[in-house]
Amino acid sequence: MSVTVLLGGDLRKEAAAGPQQRTIDLAESSCVQDLITLLGLDTTRVGMIIVNGRGSMPETELRDGDRVGLFPPELRYNTFVSLYFRPKQPKSQKDKP
């Protein structure tokens, strides 16, 4: 399965080589902790986890196509960051011209 991960703050420097936002291939039934380990991050440096726009835990099971945001403790209460990585909502029929 494939997930998209966004690394916030210093995590982008601390993770295994790669861009701030990247697509990662994982085994089926992987959880966020598996992703953190694969990226080479210290678990104590991940202070906030967002999966598909919702706060999550390291034990959260991932599915193909999920969007995962990982942020260090110093950004955990930053509301802007938590909203930034939400998937775009499709426009409703009445919003279309």
- Structural domain boundaries in the chain: 2-87
Beta bridge partners of 54: 51
- Class of domain 2-87 as given by CATH: alpha beta
Please tell me the predicted confidence (pLDDT) of residue 86: 57
**27-70, pLDDT tens digit by residue?**
999 999 999 999 999 999 999 899 998 889 999 999 999 999 99
Q: What are phi and psi of 16, to 5 degrees?
A: -55, 150
Q: What are phi and psi of 3, to 5 degrees?
A: -130, 155
| Closest-CA residue to 36 (of 15, 66, 10) | 15
Name the pTM for this structure: 0.77
